[in-house]
Chain A
Amino acid sequence: MRPVLNNFDVRTKLAIVACISTTAVVIQNAYVLLFLLIVSIVLSALFYGDLLKTIKATRRLWYVFFAIVVLQSIFNRSGNALFDIHGFTLLTDVGLLKGLEFLLRISVIIFSATIAASSDHREVVQGLVQLKIPYEIAFMVSVGIRFLPLLRSEFIDVITAIQLRGVDIRKIPLTKRLKVYSYIFTPIIAGAVNKARRLSTAMETRAFRAYPERTSYLVLKLVLKDYVVMIITLVCTVAVFVLYYIFGFPGRIL
């Protein structure tokens, strides 16, 4: 798909993400969350966010999310029983709804984040700096975002290294596989911390924070369309809150 809205200021995108995520966290209603999910997907496509890549990159996390949904559904005792075994209630309608709401909320947060991720990381840092966030913090956010895929690639490297020593991870029993994962977890984290330490040394040697004031070659400028989009976003967010809290729209499923 061609980028329709990709030339917007990163601060405009951050404002959209903040509004959508905040609404998803504050309002606990499946209809609203479903609406926000649709909005996130549409906006992500319009802003040229890479949804498929994000889903692929976070696919292992989705297993965890689904496990949480199942647990949340099972351990919530309120509502009417939907499924029970010999009088022991395993699943209630409220539990199922809470699980569904959790899944929708996580999806909204992840998918809406792809809107801001469609900007170059230098723009994100500069955007945060121009939002008066200290450069060190903005840079840390940017490095942190870049470290997540690094952690993932570190994990893949380790699994490849184990396989190259004659072990096919997929074919070993689950108990042994879990043993492998627990065994490599600490070294991977230690490796990432080590990389972070090396990065900080490299930055210090290149005079990071040597001067209190920084100038930047890249300066972002908000233009009329950015203000228009930001105002529309804010108005829509307020409208959702007013409709929900004052007019009780949309109603609750249960």
Chain B
Amino acid sequence: MLLAFIEAHDVCFAYDKKTAVITGLDMKMAAGSFTAIMGPNGSGKTTIGKLMMGIIRPDSGKILIEGDDTRQLDLGQTGSKIGYLFQNPEFQIFSHNLYDELTFIPRLKGAEEKSAALQADRLLRLLQLEDKKDVPTFSLSYGEKQRLAIAGILMGRPRYLILDEPTTGLDMVRKNILISILMKLLDEGTGITVITHDHRFVSHFSGQLLQIKEGRIIETGIK
């Protein structure tokens, strides 16, 4: 049995403290493994992602990241272990241009300008954004913003990824590129949780599948 990287124990959560969005959530995500969280609109998938990251805290129960309760961790600590892709990539893009978006955080953390630039160039090439390096971020299309947000996450070389609807706005070619990137990361030992509706996208991976309905896991499976 692989060691759990993220685990949830009897987690309940409500946004307005009245209507429960998540009830009795129990799950385990092993380090280096693939998990898909699937379910209809409004079933609580994104809320689970936010709970896993510690962006919101459970009303009861607990979520552990490598054994540490998310209530005891600040976002910076969680963010250094887990890369999180928001459902809307616009929420996580904060720089003038693509190059700055990728290099600002490493520079802030004290990384060398040259190594950050090399890594940024590599990721921009990988995600087919190299010709937009100096373009203002707000002029990008949705799909381009999605790819930029993914590149931003990968800059930090996290050990685990939580991707909320990563294929939204991506065409088939870019979707295939994303699949190959994620497969490579899995091979390298990075754990991945994907929150999605896209059955075809999930079918490329083998791992755990959690089916969510009305804030509960109604089905778990291994594929």
Interface membership of chain B positions 51-65, coded 1 if the CB is closer than 8 angstroms to chain A and 0 otherwise: 001010000000000
Number of inter-chain CB pairs below 8 Å: 71
Q: How far is the CB of B100 from chain A (nearest CB, A)?
A: 8
In the bound complex, do residue A166 and residue B80 qualify as a contact, i.e. CB atoms below 8 Å apart?
yes
In the bound complex, do residue A165 and residue B74 qualify as a contact, i.e. CB atoms below 8 Å apart?
no
Interface membership of chain A positions 154-178, coded 1 if the CB is closer than 8 angstroms to chain B and 0 otherwise: 0001101111111111111000100
From A166, A179, A187, give the contact of B76 (CB < 8 A): A166
The stretch that binds A, out of B91-99, B180-188, B195-203, B204-212, is B91-99
Cβ of A165: which chain B residues have Cβ within 8 Å of it?
79, 83, 105, 152-153, 155-156
In the bound complex, do residue B79 and residue A164 qualify as a contact, i.e. CB atoms below 8 Å apart?
yes
Q: Which of B69-92 contact A (CB under 8 A)?
A: 74-80, 83-84, 86, 90-92
The answer to whether A216 has its CB under 8 Å from any CB of chain B is no
Residues of chain A at interface, number, CB under 8 A: 26
- Please classify the interface of chain B as helix (H, G, I), strand (E, B), loop, or mixed, using the class held by over half of its residues: helix
**Bound complex: CA of A170 vs CA of B76, how far in Å?**
9
**Bound complex: CA of A179 vs CA of B84, how far in Å?**
24
Residues of chain B at interface, number, CB under 8 A: 31
In the bound complex, do residue B137 and residue A187 qualify as a contact, i.e. CB atoms below 8 Å apart?
yes
From B75, B90, B104, give the contact of A168 (CB < 8 A): B75
**Bound complex: CA of A245 vs CA of B101, how far in Å?**
59
In the bound complex, do residue A167 and residue B76 qualify as a contact, i.e. CB atoms below 8 Å apart?
yes
The answer to whether A78 has its CB under 8 Å from any CB of chain B is no
Question: What 9 additional pairs, Cβ within 8 angstroms, besides A158-B94, A160-B91, A163-B74?
Answer: A160-B55, A161-B91, A161-B93, A162-B105, A163-B76, A166-B79, A167-B79, A168-B77, A183-B95
Interface membership of chain B positions 29-59, coded 1 if the CB is closer than 8 angstroms to chain A and 0 otherwise: 0000000000000000000000001010000
Q: B residues near A, CB below 8 A?
A: 53, 55, 74-80, 83-84, 86, 90-96, 104-105, 108-109, 136-138, 152-153, 155-156, 158
The answer to whether A180 has its CB under 8 Å from any CB of chain B is yes
Q: How far is the CB of B60 from chain A (nearest CB, A)?
A: 24
Question: Known contacts A170-B74, A171-B76, A176-B108; is A162 also within 8 Å of B96 by CB?
Answer: no
In the bound complex, do residue B75 and residue A180 qualify as a contact, i.e. CB atoms below 8 Å apart?
no
Cβ of A149: which chain B residues have Cβ within 8 Å of it?
none
In the bound complex, do residue B95 and residue A163 qualify as a contact, i.e. CB atoms below 8 Å apart?
no
